Amino acid sequence: MDKTQNIDISICSYSFHRLLAAGKQDIFQYIADCKTLGCTQLDPWNAHLAELDSGSQVLHAGSNPGQSHHLTAADDDYLDRVKAAAEQAGLPFGCIAVDGAHIYEEREEDRRKNREKAYRWIAVAAKLGASHIRIDAGGPQVLTDGVLQIIVDGYNDIIARAEEAGVQVLIENHWGPSRDPDQLIAILDAVPKLGLLLDSWNWAPGKQADGWLQCAKYAKLLHIKTFHFTDEGDELTQNISAFCRLLAGSGYAGSWGVESVPRDGDEIEGARKTIALIRRSLAAMAE
């Protein structure tokens, strides 16, 4: 019996951002696609739950997570329909990955605006029954003491709000200071209730190996990045099998989350190949 059939699988809906931008997928089709691909939970990117005027807004948000202030959550009636569709599919919401509500901004007024967005997305997560929400730290690449204090204070504030809603807040190695493993760990250690959404790829140049080794033990959820596949289904950009072995060996117990960004543009097939690679990597460990 293949034990990997019992693992939790999810797809961050950023994996389908080009389909979303082209009007070929919305949150309802995302739910249906996840069901077809064998997922056990839903991990939407907040652009799939936002009020968007054009596909260019999606593409801009995907390329500029720190400039995604236009991603405004849809109204509650719409969210009721989304929740009903997920329940019909039998898929619970896992992590909502939020761009545009990051903690650090240089001006207090901008931090306050982002905080209000974070509160709204926490309410959305609670309404949908999501277990986690990812909100970025933001900030410059170098984590000074002053920047760290602002980030710590901000996370403590939104974590208190999220706890009341039954949602856990996660940071991701995504942009700004979080792409350096030492700085990421400094934030995690300073905010004990903050969890980590570990991305296999998003590291500063030369920091990936250190990031994997130092941060695996902190991981609550994953984004397993893929870009280029061989005809045999292996990923050419990074050693996904090694990443899976490391996480499994570290006692990782969360969903094996996909964030595929296929260079050939076939987003559905990219997600499918990534899921197959994860299953194959974990199965090889059990042999």
Q: Find the helix packing angle between 208-215 and 240-249, rounded to 10°.
A: 20
List the CATH number of the domain containing 132.
Answer: 3.20.20.150
pLDDT tens track of the chain, all 287 residues? 455 568 999 999 999 999 999 999 999 999 999 999 999 999 999 999 987 655 666 665 656 676 656 567 788 899 999 999 999 999 999 999 999 999 999 999 999 999 999 999 999 999 999 999 999 999 999 999 999 999 999 999 999 999 999 999 999 999 999 999 999 999 999 999 999 999 999 999 999 999 999 999 999 999 999 999 999 999 999 999 999 999 999 999 999 999 999 999 999 999 999 999 999 999 998 76
**How many degrees, rounded to 5, is the angle at CA 89 between CA 92 and CA 163?**
15
Amino acid 165 reads A
Domain region containing 280: 3-286
Instruction: Yes or no: say if 244 and 281 are a contact pair by the CB < 8 Å rule.
Output: yes
User: Which helix (H) or strand (E) segment is 220 a member of?
Assistant: strand 219-226
pLDDT digits (tens, 9 = 90+) for 231-267: 999 999 999 999 999 999 999 999 999 999 999 999 9
Q: How many domains does the chain have?
A: 1
pLDDT digits (tens, 9 = 90+) for 21-56: 999 999 999 999 999 999 999 999 999 998 765 566
Residues 43, 259: Cα–Cα separation, whole Å: 10
Burial 161-180 (b: 16+ CB within 10 A, else e): bbeebebbbbbbbbbbbbbb
